[in-house]
């Protein structure tokens, strides 16, 4: 089975065929860094990461670009309210976003373009649109894209432009109505823009780029006129991505994107995220509450990206248990006492079958929910085989371990769990000392002290496991 993706433009599942065989150019609409990204944003960004990881795991040479929007209406408004420049205002939010990405295991992409670094190519892009008859300077000092000049406008969202009033304009970057009106490519600078450093010289006077223009210029500059994949949240289909198509194809004369993919919104405790409900939750908030990064990652990738996902703290606890099950399974395989003269087991066949099943699930439009089901089914079957046999050969054990770790190159759950649960030498020494003290207490029948030591370790998320070979310990989420 080859990779299939649901293309928003055709509203159908299609075989994925990149422009250049074996190589994929991906552009993803990243955050507007006027504030902290919330977990709804991170559902989208973790899907981007799954796409990135699965394409590489499948053998593609991937160039992945994700922008950081550092100038638009929201950024300017926030910087002005804070009494800073846009550079000063966005810098810490950009740093925090990248740090949160690292915490959740999002792979570093090839480029994080920022709009303010692309002003000159944006001016050139607008000039081309004017020369091609797709844009015009207006009497308000702005330059607008002429919707009537692009007959295919509305094809992504499926908007009827037959009622278009020629020359009608929309000034704001974001608007809710499916309103086909000329949109601003360049905006004349206001006093507020100048005060926060969001104004640049251009042939049309001092001004700044429109938000929609920014992604077209950054993506085509970084990846060429035609992109293989363009990713974003479902809220960006219109007007943002619709406008990107019109201006990009109007400027280059080439198809802009081969496959559009959009992630559905996240619910929090059954309700849509909104400022009025006060249910915007940041990654940092969850970490401060003691939740494990791998659990957060698991929950946010646990459903198909085009399906609903309801975020709850009970769900996070269940995700923490799921991650712990994977860790325990991995530890069992690593610590397994193998016997090279043992009779051949079912592990190699199970390992081969699970990788095929996992690939089939992920190739079906990046179906992470089914892929996780395949992985946990594998855990159950291998554990049952080990329980029945007691021991296996090192080669059989290694086959199972290699399959698990191969699939985790896409899921990233063990990777994040190991990173977040790394124990420094001082803590490890203290734990071992506490285990020795507990053993001495049990030997002298001071069970109250032994229980107190176990409880003290548990407060630091250290769990003890007593067995025939002695006491082992592990960090849990």
pLDDT, mean of residues 35-42 = 94
pLDDT for 221: 98
pLDDT for 453: 76
| Higher per-residue pLDDT: 473 or 6 | 6
| Higher per-residue pLDDT: 432 or 23 | 23
pLDDT for 189: 97
In the structure encoding, which two tokens stand for residue 167, read together? 């020359």
- Residue 465 pLDDT grade (very low, low, confident, very high; cuts 50, 70, 90): low
- Residue 431 pLDDT grade (very low, low, confident, very high; cuts 50, 70, 90): low
| Higher per-residue pLDDT: 444 or 380 | 380
Q: Which of 160-174, 186-200, 220-234, 403-417 has the lowest mean pLDDT?
A: 160-174
Domains along the chain with CATH numbers: 4-271 (3.40.50.620), 307-420 (1.20.120.640), 425-475 (no CATH)
pLDDT for 477: 59
Residue 460 clears pLDDT 90, i.e. is over it: no
Percent of the chain with pLDDT over 70: 92
- Residue 355 pLDDT grade (very low, low, confident, very high; cuts 50, 70, 90): very high
Residue 447 clears pLDDT 80, i.e. is over it: no
| Higher per-residue pLDDT: 273 or 93 | 93
- Residue 461 pLDDT grade (very low, low, confident, very high; cuts 50, 70, 90): low
pLDDT for 175: 72
pLDDT for 426: 59
Residue 427 clears pLDDT 70, i.e. is over it: no
How far the first Cα of the chain sits from its last, in Å, is: 36
Mean pLDDT of the chain: 92
The pTM is what?
A: 0.90
pLDDT for 132: 98
Rg, Å, the chain Cα set? 27
pLDDT digits (tens, 9 = 90+) for 249-273: 999 999 999 999 999 999 998 888 7
pLDDT digits (tens, 9 = 90+) for 359-385: 999 999 999 999 999 999 999 999 999
| Higher per-residue pLDDT: 18 or 473 | 18
Do residues 250 and 6 touch, judged by C-beta distance below 8 A?
Answer: no
In sequence order, the β-bridge partners of residue 186 are 143, 209
Do residues 435 and 464 touch, judged by C-beta distance below 8 A?
Answer: yes
Q: Rounded CA gap, 421 and 476, in Å?
A: 8
pLDDT for 56: 98
pLDDT digits (tens, 9 = 90+) for 304-343: 999 999 999 999 999 999 999 999 999 999 999 999 888 8
Percent of the chain with pLDDT over 90: 79
pLDDT, mean of residues 143-167 = 86
- How far, rounded to the nearest angstrom, does the alpha carbon of residue 56 sit from its chain's CA centroid? 15
């Amino acid at each position: 089975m080859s990779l299939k993706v649901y293309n928003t433009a055709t509203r159908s599942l299609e075989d994925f065929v990149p422009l250049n065989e074996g190589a994929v150019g991906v552009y993803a609409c990243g955050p507007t860094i006027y504030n902290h990204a919330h977990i709804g944003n991170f559902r989208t960004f973790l899907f981007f990461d799954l796409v990135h990881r699965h394409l590489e795991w499948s053998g593609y040479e991937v160039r992945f670009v994700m922008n950081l929007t550092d100038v638009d209406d929201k950024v300017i408004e926030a910087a002005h309210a804070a009494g800073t420049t846009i550079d000063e205002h966005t810098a810490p939010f950009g740093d925090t976003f990248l740090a949160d990405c690292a915490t959740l295991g999002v792979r570093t992409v090839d480029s994080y373009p920022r709009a303010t670094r692309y002003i000159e190519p944006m001016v050139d892009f607008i000039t081309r649109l004017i020369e091609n008859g797709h844009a015009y300077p207006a009497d308000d000092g702005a330059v607008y894209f002429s919707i009537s000049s692009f007959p295919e406008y509305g094809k992504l969202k499926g908007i009827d432009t037959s009622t278009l009033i020629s020359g009608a304009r929309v000034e704001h970057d974001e608007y809710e109505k499916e309103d086909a009106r000329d949109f601003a490519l360049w905006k004349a600078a206001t006093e507020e823009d100048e005060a926060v450093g969001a104004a640049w010289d251009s042939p049309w006077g001092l001004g700044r780029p429109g938000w929609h223009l920014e992604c077209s210029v950054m993506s085509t500059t970084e990846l060429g006129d035609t992109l293989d994949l363009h990713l974003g949240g479902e809220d960006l289909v219109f007007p943002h991505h619709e406008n990107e198509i019109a201006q990009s194809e109007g400027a280059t004369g080439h198809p802009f994107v081969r496959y559009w993919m959009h992630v559905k919104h996240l619910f929090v405790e059954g309700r849509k995220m909104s400022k009025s409900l006060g249910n915007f939750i940041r990654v940092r908030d969850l970490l401060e509450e003691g939740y494990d990064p791998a659990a957060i990652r698991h929950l946010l990738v646990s459903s198909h990206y085009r399906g609903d996902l309801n975020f709850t703290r009970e769900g996070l606890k269940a995700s923490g248990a799921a991650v712990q099950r994977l860790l325990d399974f991995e530890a069992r395989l690593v610590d397994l006492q193998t016997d090279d003269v043992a009779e051949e087991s079912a592990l190699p066949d199970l390992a081969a079958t699970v990788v095929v099943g996992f690939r089939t699930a992920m190739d079906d439009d990046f179906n992470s929910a089914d892929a996780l089901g395949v992985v946990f089914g594998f855990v159950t079957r291998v554990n049952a085989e080990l329980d029945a046999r007691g021991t296996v050969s090192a080669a059989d054990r290694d086959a199972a371990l290699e399959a698990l770790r191969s699939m985790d190159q896409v899921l990233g759950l063990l990777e994040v769990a190991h990173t977040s649960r790394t124990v420094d030498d001082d803590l490890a020494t203290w734990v071992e000392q506490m285990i020795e003290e507990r053993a001495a207490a049990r030997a002298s029948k001071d069970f109250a002290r032994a229980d107190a030591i176990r409880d003290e370790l548990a407060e630091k998320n250290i769990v003890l496991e007593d067995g025939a070979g002695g006491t082992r310990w592990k960090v849990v989420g």
